[in-house]
Homo-oligomer: A and B are copies of this chain.
Amino acid sequence: MKKEKIMDLLDTVKFNNQGLVTAIAQDADTNEVLMIAYMNRETLAETFRTRTMVYFSRSRRKRWLKGETSGHIQTVKSVYIDCDGDALLFKINQKGNACHEGYFSCFFREKVKGDWAIVKKKIEE
């Protein structure tokens, strides 16, 4: 994508007062929701340019290339924006697991009879 096109697209995104937009990562093959995190204008631009998910870590206050140390890269297949422009949905291909706890999805606990139960298996690598 050309630089000017990316700039135009970034202008349509509503970043919050901390300069962040919500990003949902969904497995492109199974439609399983994998994780939710945030991007700022710079890391969203980088994500568009490289087709690899680059978040902004709110806790570390810095750019966060997903999989940089773990190798669990997320490759972007398609991108959607919601009606009010403050949330993005990325359909991705996940290498390995999305969750740092070893599960494919961060949403590995389900409400079962009034408690959270682990309902997914860890990925063997």
Contact = CB atoms under 8 A, between A and B. Distances in A.
Interface of A: 1-2, 5-6, 8-9, 12, 22, 24, 26, 30-33, 35-36, 48, 78-84, 87, 89, 99-101, 103, 106-111, 114-116, 119
B111 A2 contact: no
Most buried by B among A5, A9, A32, A36: A36
User: Does more than half of chain A's interface fall in helix, strand or loop, or is it mixed?
Assistant: mixed
A27 B100 CA distance: 26
Copies in the complex: 2
A78 B110 CA distance: 7
A39 to B, nearest CB: 14
B24 A114 contact: no
Given A33-B33, A33-B89, A36-B87, A114 B22 contact: no
Given A24-B33, A80-B108, A81-B107, 10 more contacts: A6-B114, A9-B114, A22-B22, A31-B33, A35-B82, A80-B109, A80-B110, A80-B111, A83-B101, A87-B106
